[in-house]
Amino acid sequence: MTYLREDRRGKLIEGAAVKITGRYNDLAADIVNTARKTETSLQRIRKGAQRRAGATSDVSDHNVSETDRICMQLFLDIQEYGRNLAGLGVEAAKIPAYGSLWQLVAPQDRQGEIRF
């Protein structure tokens, strides 16, 4: 038994999705920005320590950074979130905050098109 008409149910779900996605975007942006700042600070500290020790090696190693790992996990998460929204009848790509979130965490080669 359904207590809401289909159109009202759809609007309710879409409204909730927009609010939740906005909050998700805000939190993810905070996490990514904090990770970037922390990584930059650590690189400066390492560079200073290497200078004092007389080391000549480059500070930045060629491994994947922690920020990149965080972004990749968030990217995987938002793809699944988008699929879940689609299952509820909501087009994630039409939610502005979802687009912002995608741009924040998607790899460079996936920035242009939201697809999951």
Task: Write the pLDDT tens digit of every residue in 2-51.
Answer: 788 989 999 999 999 999 999 999 999 999 999 999 999 998 998 888 88
Domain edges within the chain: 6-57+64-110
What span, in angstroms and rounded, lies between the C-alpha atoms of 93 and 106? 13
25 touches 101 (CB < 8 A): yes
Tell me, what amino acid is at 70? I
**Helix and strand counts by DSSP (H, E) for the chain:** 3, 0
Distance in angstroms between the alpha carbons of the first and the last residue of the chain: 32
Place of tokens 């207590």: 3
pLDDT at residue 55, rounded to an integer:
65
Entry pTM: 0.82
Place of tokens 């909730």: 16
